[in-house]
Each structure stands twice: as C-alpha cells, then as structure tokens.
Amino acid sequence: MTLATLRDVLQPALAEGYAVGGLVCLGWEDMRAFARAAEAEELPVILQTGPSCRAHTPLPVLGAMLRELADSVSVPVVAHLDHGYTAEECRIAIDCGYSSVMYDGSRKPLSQNIDETAAIAEMAHDAGVSCEGEIGFVGYAAGESSQGTDPDEAATFVRESGVDAVAISVGNVHLQQNREGGLDEARIRAIEAVTDIPLVIHGGSGVPVAQRTALARTSRICKFNIGTELRMVFGRELRAVLDADNEVFDRVSILSHLEGPLETAARAALRALAPETGESA
C-alpha cells in the first residue's frame, strides 16, 4: 500500500524544490486515470474530493475507492478531503480512511478560523492524519471575490493552528477556465518570509503552467490544486464520443474512451510540478 499523508509528500517537496499535484476527483474513472498518471510519471499524487464530489458519493464509499487506488500503484497517494466545512465532516473522513483533511475556515474571522482549525488539526494528528488550513479567501470565477492573504495573519495562523500546510489567496481563483490570471509573487514572497510550512494554491488551473513550474521550484508552494482543466478534458472527450455515435448509450463503453485523455492531461499537470531533473520524487 502506498497511502501517504499530506506531510509525507509535501515535506520532501519543500526540501527538494518541487510541488505535488492535488487533483480534484469526481468519480471512479477520473480517480483511476489520475492514479495511473502518477504511476506512469513516478510521482506522488494527492487525490482530493471536494464538496461537489461528496454530494454525489458518500464519504465511506470515497474513502474505500481512494484506498483501493493507493493499493494499486507504487507511488505515494494521499487521500485528501478538500474544503471540509465542519469538524464532523473531517472526523467522518478520518474514520473512513482519508489520510489528509483540509478544513476551510477562510470565510470566518481570524481568531475563529484559528481555533476551529487547531481543533481539527489536533484531531487529525491524533489519528495519524495530516491537516491543511486556509487563510485569506480564494474566490470563484463568476462568483465570490477573493480576499488576499495578509502575511502577518498568515504567520499567526500557521503558528497557532498547527496545520501541516496552508492554502493562501494570492491572485488565484477557483473554477477559472483560462491560464491568464497569474499569481502575485510579491505577496507570496512576503508570506514565505514569515511562515515555515508548505504553501498551497487552490484554483491552480487558472495559473499559467510556466508560473506553476517556476514557483514549484523556487518557492514554498508545494501543492497546486488542479481541477477545472481536467474537467474540461472530461467534457470535451465526452462530447466527442457522443458526437461520433449518436446511438451509443452504455456508460462503461462511453467512459472507457475518456480515461486515456484524462491520464494524458494529468501526466502533463504532474510533470510540470516535478523536480527539475525530472526524476521521481
């Protein structure tokens, strides 16, 4: 079994100058494609399930699926709860076999975010599980606006919450379909100067690939969450299959055509974050 915690994969990344892909999963087919991509690239991967995935499939089922995939490959696989909004949700994920949880208190006042995140980090650590927190709010394309991370607040949050990694808001946006946004590197450097744990970028699909690669190798950013660009591949390939045969109806037959393109896209996303030498992590 290669099930790993977030700390297991991010600490080496921090020490050696690379980042790990947090690939957003919605179902078995994309999870399997992402695990196979990591195996092919000989790189660790973080398979993460967000609120929309959990609304569709219960946590006990997702936990079993993720652990099965970790068993199927030889590279480290993190089973990660993305955007957990309650302590109960994080507790259930831990009980269901997740090796990492992310508690999102970013919409709350700093002191409340710290207190709630610290309690969840303690619960996770007691179970041998990692915990990611968030300071500053990462907004949504055509939705809520971002609130950039204040470096001083980041320093306080990291010091008092006890998290293993912290997500920051530095120009990144969830659900962005292009790569034209770019990140505020001056703010990143200011945050780095006062924190000592791996940093996380949510909304990685909106970040130009060249900037992802450069920051993976030259900053404390050790995890890029990538979802939208992979979902776009899924949608494009699904339309192509249906357009090619307007009588096809079997789910297994349809989805079998999608895993190859998803694996190819995931391999490219993971490779862009890899060590400069291209060697396995």
Residues annotated catalytic, as ranges: 82
Q: What is the 3-state secondary structure (H, E, C) of 19-57?
A: CEEEEEECCHHHHHHHHHHHHHHCCCEEEEECHHHHHHC
Whether 175 shows a pLDDT value over 60: the answer reads: no
Structurally, at CATH architecture level, domain 3-271 sits in Alpha-Beta Barrel (3.20)
Q: Where does the pLDDT of residue 281 fall: very low under 50, low under 70, confident under 90, or very high at 90 and above?
A: very low
Greatest extent of the chain over all pairs of C-alpha atoms, in Å: 59
List the domain boundaries for the chain.
3-271
End-to-end CA distance of the chain: 17
Q: 38-42, 142-146, 171-175: which has the highest mean pLDDT?
A: 38-42
Whole-angstrom Cα distance, residue 265 to residue 50? Answer: 20
d(CA 145, CA 14): 29
pLDDT recorded at residue 247: 84
Q: Which residue has better confidence, 249 or 73?
A: 73
pTM as predicted? 0.93
Query: Which range (30-39, 96-105, 232-241) has the least confidence?
Result: 232-241
